[in-house]
Each structure stands twice: as structure tokens, then as C-alpha cells.
Amino acid sequence: MPDMSASASLAMTNLVTLAKEVDEDKVTPGVLGFIVFAVMALAVWGLMKSMNRHMGRVDFKEAPDPAEASGKDTAETGTSGKASQG
């Protein structure tokens, strides 16, 4: 297996030289990265505003169940409008 260690050390040597060539001062997201981030932030803000508006319109009161509405007849006989589970 000496071939694998030799190729691994050769690969590491090449990677180290590539890492030295990269100038850390020039590797930035730049203006394009800022524009993409700003557009995504505006999209999230717009979606949250729209969601809050839609959630404000939601009526959380449930409509009466038709079986319970007709349950007045069964209430007189002493049985409940709900089916018994057993």
C-alpha cells in the first residue's frame, strides 16, 4: 500500500500549494452576494407580512356541527348527539 500513501501525500502537496495561491483578501461574496441576500430578505419580509395579514382574517370559531344542531331532539330523550365510542 505504499502507492496510496505516496499519492495521498502528492495530493496534499498540491492542495497546500493551491491554498497558498488563494488571496484571502480577494475572496468575498461581493456586490452580487449582497444583492442576492437583500432580495431574499425582502422576499421573506413580504411573505411574513402577507402571512400575518391572512392569519388576521382567519375566523377561529368553528361552525356548529349539523349533528349537534339536530341534537336538540335527542337531548329531550336523554341521548347525546355524539356517537358512543366503546
- The predicted pLDDT at position 83 comes to 55
Distance CA 48, CA 46 (A): 5
Block means of pLDDT (10 residues each) for the chain, 86 residues, are 59 61 74 95 98 89 78 55 52
Amino acid symbol at 12: M
- The predicted pLDDT at position 30 comes to 85
- The predicted pLDDT at position 1 comes to 45
- The predicted pLDDT at position 79 comes to 55
pTM of the model: 0.42
**Chain centre to alpha carbon of residue 82:** 39
- The predicted pLDDT at position 45 comes to 98
